[in-house]
């Protein structure tokens, strides 16, 4: 009958006649079968079942792939209803492992609907949902609220503990799914930013499990970073005294982030923040993203101190489990007891990690820093130009005690071998094992020395930079807002010299002297792995390298230190009045004195309009935005890196000839 009405062009929309929630549930019941048999659930199977139960294809507009992913999530919940109760009897480590295996059997979310993007509908991955529920210490006597229920994954975890539920979901389609999955459960469809007001008069929950939109609000098209705070504020007001709230948020919503420090301190005057810890973005890989998130655990009891336990690092799931198992169990609280007692301050710690409450985060700081000593020797060419094209290379003016030679043979042109380099005076600060273990060769250490020498000097004159960072004019030194530009350094070594390792060494020298913010710009996003490799080889950690592409355009960068990595194309991107360049400059600060490494800097070629064979050639946008970054941060220690940076000799912005590349 339904198909007949549809084919005859009946006035009612086909999706209105079709029971969306029941159709999703029917698809999920079919998808459950391969999961129970531990078989891979491929997209072909999912598509076939969606076509069958929605009486049409995605190409015809009968359903969207977002609907299919909802069905896969419902299939996971049906799996838990069959095997979850028995699974919870196993050790937490076993439960986590089995849930990860189950998630791996499901297809990756590769397509999103407009609604999912607008409302930031990212469901909680099953293993993460398990940890959130475990942090809540849910009992059968609990009344659990999920303010942004989605498809109900967090609610299902609470249901496995026999708790009573109260759900809220604003999206109509997801509400239809929840009505089918949780019949008889109170279900509301309101904006969870005002959940306390909407649920006035309702029973107060003893536990709140939530994964709210990170920076999206209904009927607001622009990003709204305050959304997370509003969701948690309202949920805390609704939470019963003595109850516990566990939430998933963006990693930037942290007490270690100066932008949100005041928010957490204000909460701490009324409630007790037990834990705030970052979650490695790998857990969301099946959901089509790898954005880092954060778990925060709050008890609605008076706090006995203003200290906020916070781990700024992002941890893997087994490490999170170890932390959560240290959380104090909840105790029954009466409202009248609120003024009589305070929660005992219990700081959870991961073995060999430190729980901190300060906004400054130090993930890598060597404790054996030494000043690199070397001998400057007098040198001059004793012989004239030889018949050979190349000469073996080694540092000519300096000798570094205990430094090891470069692992491969280096050479330079015979002409350059006759040029005496300047005698340096700068002495880098590096961990002692850099020299003793040969982590940087003698030739690479020479680059660190000469880069530091250049960065100690300033270009002559003073300048005024306008607000666009495009126009730089000469000014008197006494002029208001006049700035001086620090001298940069060009690294033109060829293949085999280890330019990435030299970049890391120059950044490490600054890092050891307290300049623990750096910017690394490169040609391709894939080169971030090379940057991590070179940085970790010198003793750093992967977490020190911040991938700018994982941070939304316009959002504040939530790290107080680190090496910000981005590509030239990312650097020039902008939308709706927001730009990556402004985002970076705001993170660095106007007084930024750290290193900016322009890797593959020939990508910034043609930064100025030039006369071509057929007339004027316009300046490249990548070149322009690279200059803007330098202009905005005049005290930065700029490093240009390219083996082919001087194939065409031309004047730079400051009238200085780029040198020929070294071999």
Per residue in 342-382, pLDDT (tens digit) is: 344 445 555 444 333 333 344 556 668 889 999 998 877 66
- The closest alpha carbon to 272, from 313, 196, 331, belongs to 331
Res 655: pLDDT? 33
Res 646: pLDDT? 58
* Pairwise CA distance, residues 354 & 195, whole Å: 36
Q: Residue 656 — pLDDT band, cuts 50, 70, 90? A: very low
* Pairwise CA distance, residues 42 & 55, whole Å: 20
Res 593: pLDDT? 94
Lowest mean pLDDT segment, chosen from 294-308, 435-449, 575-589? 294-308
pLDDT above 90 covers a percentage of the chain that reads: 39
Within 13 Å, how many C-alpha atoms sit on residue 318's CB side? 6
What tokens were used for 76?
A: 């996971």
Res 351: pLDDT? 47
Res 616: pLDDT? 60
CA distances, 109 to each of 54, 151, 316 (Å): 20, 15, 21
Alpha helices in 420-478 (DSSP H): 433-436, 442-455
Res 632: pLDDT? 92
Q: What is the mean pLDDT of the segment spanning 127-140? A: 93
What tokens were used for 11?
A: 């006035």
Res 338: pLDDT? 39
Chain segment 95-126, per-residue pLDDT in tens: 999 999 999 999 888 776 555 555 556 788 89
| Burial category of 263 from C-beta neighbours within 10 Å (exposed 0-12, middle 13-18, buried 19 and up) | middle
Res 382: pLDDT? 66
- The closest alpha carbon to 225, from 173, 260, 184, 272, belongs to 260
In this predicted structure, the answer to whether residue 21 has a pLDDT above a threshold of 50 is yes
Chain segment 189-230, per-residue pLDDT in tens: 998 888 998 888 888 999 999 998 876 666 665 567 788 899
In this predicted structure, the answer to whether residue 52 has a pLDDT above a threshold of 90 is yes
Outline where DSSP puts E strands in 75-152.
143-146
Res 235: pLDDT? 93
Outline where DSSP puts E strands in 238-338.
244-250, 272-279, 293-299, 311-315
Q: What's the predicted TM-score (pTM) here?
A: 0.52
Rg (the chain; Cα; Å): 30
Res 618: pLDDT? 61
Q: What is the mean pLDDT of the chain?
A: 82
Res 659: pLDDT? 35
């Amino acid at each position: 009958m339904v198909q007949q009405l549809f084919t005859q062009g009946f006035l009612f929309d086909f999706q209105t006649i079709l029971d969306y929630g029941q159709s999703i549930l029917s698809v999920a019941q079919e998808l459950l079968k391969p999961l129970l048999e531990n078989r891979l659930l491929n997209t072909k199977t999912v598509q076939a079942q969606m076509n069958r139960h929605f009486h049409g294809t995605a190409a015809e507009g009968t359903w969207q792939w977002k609907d299919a992913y909802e069905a896969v999530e419902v299939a996971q919940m049906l799996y838990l209803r069959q095997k979850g109760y028995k699974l919870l009897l196993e050790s937490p480590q076993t439960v986590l492992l089995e849930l990860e295996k189950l998630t791996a059997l499901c297809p990756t979310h590769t397509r999103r609907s407009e609604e999912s993007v607008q409302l930031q509908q990212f469901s909680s991955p099953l293993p993460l949902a398990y940890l959130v529920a475990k942090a809540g210490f849910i009992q059968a006597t609990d009344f659990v609220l999920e303010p942004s229920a989605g498809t109900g994954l967090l609610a299902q975890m609470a249901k496995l503990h026999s708790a009573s539920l109260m759900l809220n979901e604003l999206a109509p389609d997801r509400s239809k799914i929840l009505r089918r999955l949780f019949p008889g459960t109170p279900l509301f469809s309101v904006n969870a930013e005002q959940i306390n007001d909407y649920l006035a008069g309702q029973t107060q929950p003893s536990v709140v499990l939530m994964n709210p939109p990170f920076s999206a609000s209904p009927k607001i098209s622009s990003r709204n970073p305050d959304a997370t705070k509003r969701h948690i504020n309202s949920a805390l007001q609704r939470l019963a005294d003595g109850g516990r709230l566990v939430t998933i948020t963006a990693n930037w919503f942290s007490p270690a982030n100066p932008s949100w420090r005041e928010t957490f301190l204000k909460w701490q005057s009324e409630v007790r923040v037990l834990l705030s810890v970052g979650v490695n973005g790998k857990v969301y890989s099946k959901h089509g993203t790898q954005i880092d998130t954060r778990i925060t655990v709050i008890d609605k009891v008076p706090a006995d101190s203003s200290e906020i336990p916070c781990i700024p690092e992002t941890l893997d799931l087994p490490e999170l489990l170890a932390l959560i198992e240290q959380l104090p169990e909840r105790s029954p609280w009466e409202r009248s007891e609120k003024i009589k007692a305070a929660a005992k301050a219990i700081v959870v710690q991961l073995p060999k990690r430190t729980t901190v409450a300060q906004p400054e985060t130090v993930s890598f700081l060597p404790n054996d820093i030494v000043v690199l000593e070397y001998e400057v020797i007098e040198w001059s060419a004793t012989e004239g130009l030889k018949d050979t094209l190349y000469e073996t290379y080694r540092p000519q003016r300096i000798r570094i005690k205990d430094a090891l030679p470069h692992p491969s043979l280096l050479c330079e042109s015979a002409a350059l071998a006759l040029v005496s380099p300047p005698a340096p005076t700068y002495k880098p600060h590096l961990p002692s094992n850099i020299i003793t273990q040969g982590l940087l060769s003698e030739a690479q250490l020479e680059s660190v020395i000469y880069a530091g020498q250049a960065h100690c000097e300033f270009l002559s004159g003073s300048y005024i930079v306008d607000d666009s960072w495009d126009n730089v004019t000469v000014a008197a030194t006494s002029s208001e807002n006049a700035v001086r530009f620090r001298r940069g350094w060009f690294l033109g070594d060829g293949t085999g010299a280890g330019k990435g390792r030299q970049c890391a060494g120059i950044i490490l020298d600054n890092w050891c002297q307290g300049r623990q913010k750096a910017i690394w710009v490169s040609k391709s996003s894939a080169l971030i792995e090379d940057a991590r490799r070179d940085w970790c080889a010198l003793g750093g950690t992967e977490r020190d390298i911040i991938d700018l592409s994982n941070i939304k355009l316009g959002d504040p960068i939530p790290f107080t230190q680190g090496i910000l990595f981005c590509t030239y194309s990312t650097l020039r991107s902008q939308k709706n009045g927001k730009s990556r360049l402004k985002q970076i400059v705001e993170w660095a600060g106007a007084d930024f004195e750290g290193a900016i490494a322009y890797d593959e800097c020939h990508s910034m070629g043609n930064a100025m309009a030039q006369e071509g064979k057929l007339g004027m050639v316009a300046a490249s946008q990548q070149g322009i935005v690279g200059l803007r970054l330098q202009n905005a941060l005049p005290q930065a220690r700029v490093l240009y890196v390219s083996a082919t940076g001087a194939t065409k000799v031309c004047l730079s912005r400051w009238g200085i000839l780029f040198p020929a590349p070294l071999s």
